[in-house]
Chain A
Amino acid sequence: MKDRFDVELRSIMEEESEKVYMSDELRSRILGRSRPDFIFRVRSLLNSYIEIPVPLAIGVVAIAIMVNLIPALNIDVDFNSRRVIEIENSQVVVSHAKDVIGYED
């Protein structure tokens, strides 16, 4: 019963709308109104969810930090405390104080 009604309704609709046409102007107006605007699209994007694998997230953060830190470690300035040995009014600079930590009885 149900199937027959559907088919009947459909044939009536087709028959009645056979000679109904939509103007191009109306069509474009309807399409223009129904298209989402830029802000709507951005908002949709911002509110959309993405899934990021945890290892990837950690990896990206780690790489970002490392890319900045690794070149920074290339330090020329000598951190070692500098010692000056006085010899006859001349000064001898010992950059690595451990070099002259000597014998202890």
Chain B
Amino acid sequence: MKIRIKVKTLIMLVIAFALVFGVIIPGLFLYGVGEIEDNKKAAGLYEFYVNMPIVSFRDIALYKMAKSLVPYMDTYDIFMFGRGSSGDLITREDAEKAIECYERILNKYKNSLYYVDAYKNLLDIYVGMGNGDKVQELIDWGRNSSREEIVYTSHLYTAFNHMANRKYDEAMDIVEKCIFEGIEDRRLYELKGIIYIFQEEYDLAEQAFEEIRDKYFIHENSRYLFGSIRKVYNSYWINSFIRRYAGDNTIKGRVTVNGKGIPYVQIYIHTKSQYGTYSPDNELYIAITDFNGGFETIGLKEGEYEIGIGVSQPLAYDLVYRERNERMLQVKGDTTYNFEFTEPMEIISPKGEFALKDSTFHLKWERIEGAEYYEVHAVSFDNPYDMSGSSIIYAIPDEKGEYEIPDTEANIDIDVVNFYSSAVFYSGEDEERIINPGGILGTFYPGIRVPIIVKAYDAEGNILNSTLPLVSDYEDMTIVKVENRELSEGERLIANMEYEEAISYYEDILERDDKNTEALTYLSRLYAEGWRKGTESLDKAREYAERLYSITGDDKVLIRINNVSEKRR
């Protein structure tokens, strides 16, 4: 079968085909993807678009893909006690892909509408990643650009770099020069205000922030000022800061990874009243680290503070904070405090998620220099089946009942571990509060997943390293999936939080078989911990435990009761 067609009709069809598939459909596609709220899905679709060999508006798709991957860089905040992060998680992989997109725009699409913003966003990602060398390289590149906006952006980040390196006069010279040349950029005035704050010229800072009000952003507005460096705010904060903190004492220190300084890290402080929280919201950084990771805060009043830092989320990936056994910092005169990070130690075997078919497993980990001892920790979740809800991490003993292990390997017997008290959660309130199944069944029971973490300590109890970094991938963890047996009927009742039914069930069993070890074990535990408020009875628990001991002769059955008695005392 053949189509008979005029040549001119054929040509028209080819042009229409190219227009529809090259311009109209791509335009509609990009518009449609822009309406998707899930950034991850949007980024995937933009990548699909970018990968097409023949397509228009590729620069737009590249820019939007990068923005979907890294809309902004939130910080991971670490205080002496609390730590954590808020906002959507940006992984290192996301940041690396976004860098690739922006670099493609800078290399191939000089006339793109997004050329200048791509340059600025690329600088922001490198600031967030703490990569001072790349920031400097891009600044040098931008200085020679034929585009005025690129040259200005290069000056803006040069001023920011000077500020981070505490060269405040050089930074201010650039800012003033740009303002003198008539550049009306809100970001420029914000930078000016921060430089004044770091120079402790609070009145001038206040004035600079007043001037911000009628200014607009030259680049796209963003949640953060430079990379993950927070914006400052207003004169209210400055007054609040002066009232609460301003003084003559400084804190100096370094933020390092294996001894190498990290630039552009924000330093915060909390007063004693904010102890235990990690969010620096409504507070301002009191220093930024320089290219060597060093910092020196503005003058503070003498007193006790909790010091903290903010690093961007992609930077926090695969870093372990070497937490010090200190919770408050006494500031008097010049005080020094360092934040040290290292790469996580490794569990050599078993790696990843593994099904435990037996009741024991052998754990082996990397030796850490200077470690006095190691501890094996288990993680218990509110909902252990899908590892959701709140979690508690706690040390578990090896098969000999030892918690502090001097060697780099240990045999873990889950039946032994279950003799010891595990993480106890309560759901509900007051009279209705009810214990979690793991509180009775123990750390390991069939069907659940238990992440295992090893920590190395020095002689003073400071953490030298851990297998759990600040941010990591699930695949990199060791997870025990307990599959050594099926839950018994009584255990199933406990797992379903039907505790009264479990007690009746086990009491019935004991009536028929007064030496049933499972019934004695769980009745002892249920009465020791108490499944609901007011149900605990140490006497009953002890009675069941002693009956169990008389049968098994294993004194481990008394461990939990002794623990609970100890706690109550």
Smallest Cβ distance from B489 to chain A, in angstroms?
Answer: 12
From B111-119, B256-264, B469-477, give the one contacting chain A: B469-477
A89-105 interface code vs B (CB 8 A; 1 in, 0 out): 11111110001111111
Interface residues of B in 393-433 (CB under 8 A from A): 393
Query: When the two chains form their complex, are residues B40 and A103 in contact, meaning their CB atoms are under 8 A apart?
Result: no
A28 contacts the other chain (CB 8 A): no
Q: Kindly state the separation between the CA atoms of A47 and B97 in the bound complex, as whole angstroms.
A: 51
Query: When the two chains form their complex, are residues B44 and A78 in contact, meaning their CB atoms are under 8 A apart?
Result: yes
From A11-19, A33-41, A63-71, give the one contacting chain B: A63-71
Contacts of B41 in A (CB 8 A): 79
A75-90 interface code vs B (CB 8 A; 1 in, 0 out): 1111101101111111
A23 contacts the other chain (CB 8 A): no
Query: When the two chains form their complex, are residues A77 and B40 in contact, meaning their CB atoms are under 8 A apart?
Result: yes
Smallest Cβ distance from B122 to chain A, in angstroms?
Answer: 18
| Inter-chain residue pair count (beta carbon < 8 A) | 150
Query: When the two chains form their complex, are residues B11 and A46 in contact, meaning their CB atoms are under 8 A apart?
Result: yes
A57 contacts the other chain (CB 8 A): yes
Closest to A56 in B: B2
A50, A61, A89: which contacts B17 (Cβ < 8 A)?
A: A61
B53, B469, B495: which contacts A90 (Cβ < 8 A)?
A: B469
Interface range for B: 35 or more
Contacts of B97 in A (CB 8 A): 76-77
* Most chain B C-beta atoms within 10 Å of own C-beta, residue among A65, A90, A101, A105: A90
Q: Kindly state the separation between the CA atoms of A51 and B41 in the bound complex, as whole angstroms.
A: 45
B137 contacts the other chain (CB 8 A): no
Query: When the two chains form their complex, are residues A77 and B69 in contact, meaning their CB atoms are under 8 A apart?
Result: yes
B28 contacts the other chain (CB 8 A): no
Contacts of A57 in B (CB 8 A): 3
Q: Kindly state the separation between the CA atoms of A95 and B93 in the bound complex, as whole angstroms.
A: 12
Query: When the two chains form their complex, are residues B468 and A90 in contact, meaning their CB atoms are under 8 A apart?
Result: yes
B348 contacts the other chain (CB 8 A): no
Chain B binding surface, main DSSP class: mixed
Known: A68-B53, A71-B53, A87-B468. A92 touches B393 (CB 8 A): no
A50, A72, A87, A101: which contacts B52 (Cβ < 8 A)?
A: A72
B253 contacts the other chain (CB 8 A): no
Query: When the two chains form their complex, are residues A102 and B44 in contact, meaning their CB atoms are under 8 A apart?
Result: no
Contacts of B495 in A (CB 8 A): 105
Query: When the two chains form their complex, are residues B449 and A105 in contact, meaning their CB atoms are under 8 A apart?
Result: no
Query: When the two chains form their complex, are residues A103 and B47 in contact, meaning their CB atoms are under 8 A apart?
Result: no
A21 contacts the other chain (CB 8 A): no
Q: Kindly state the separation between the CA atoms of A36 and B21 in the bound complex, as whole angstroms.
A: 38
B43 contacts the other chain (CB 8 A): yes
Query: When the two chains form their complex, are residues A100 and B474 in contact, meaning their CB atoms are under 8 A apart?
Result: yes
Query: When the two chains form their complex, are residues B83 and A89 in contact, meaning their CB atoms are under 8 A apart?
Result: yes
Query: When the two chains form their complex, are residues A47 and B7 in contact, meaning their CB atoms are under 8 A apart?
Result: yes
Query: When the two chains form their complex, are residues B53 and A67 in contact, meaning their CB atoms are under 8 A apart?
Result: yes
A32 contacts the other chain (CB 8 A): no
B451 contacts the other chain (CB 8 A): yes
B459-493 interface code vs A (CB 8 A; 1 in, 0 out): 00000000011111111010000000000000010
Contacts of A90 in B (CB 8 A): 468-472
Smallest Cβ distance from A59 to chain B, in angstroms?
Answer: 13
B453, B468, B492: which contacts A105 (Cβ < 8 A)?
A: B492
Q: Kindly state the separation between the CA atoms of A96 and B54 in the bound complex, as whole angstroms.
A: 32
Known: A46-B8, A88-B391. A68 touches B55 (CB 8 A): yes
A45, A75, A88, A95: which contacts B474 (Cβ < 8 A)?
A: A95
Q: Kindly state the separation between the CA atoms of A39 and B390 in the bound complex, as whole angstroms.
A: 80
Interface residues of A in 40-55 (CB under 8 A from B): 45-55
* Most chain B C-beta atoms within 10 Å of own C-beta, residue among A65, A104, A105: A105
Contacts of A76 in B (CB 8 A): 47, 97
Smallest Cβ distance from A80 to chain B, in angstroms?
Answer: 8
Residues of chain B whose beta carbon lies under 8 Å from any beta carbon of chain A: 1-8, 10-11, 17, 21, 38, 40-41, 43-44, 47-49, 51-55, 65, 69, 82-85, 89, 91, 97, 278, 353, 379, 384-388, 390-391, 393, 446-449, 451, 453, 468-475, 477, 492, 495-496
What 20 additional pairs, Cβ within 8 angstroms, besides A72-B48, A84-B89, A95-B474?
A47-B6, A49-B5, A49-B7, A50-B6, A51-B4, A54-B3, A64-B17, A71-B53, A76-B47, A81-B40, A85-B387, A85-B474, A88-B393, A89-B278, A92-B472, A93-B471, A93-B473, A94-B474, A101-B386, A105-B447
16 A-B residue pairs with Cβ-Cβ distance under 8 Å, sorted by A, are: A46-B8, A47-B7, A48-B7, A52-B2, A71-B52, A72-B49, A75-B48, A77-B43, A78-B40, A79-B40, A82-B89, A89-B470, A91-B89, A92-B451, A92-B472, A103-B448
Residues of chain A whose beta carbon lies under 8 Å from any beta carbon of chain B: 45-55, 57, 61, 64-65, 67-69, 71-79, 81-82, 84-95, 99-105
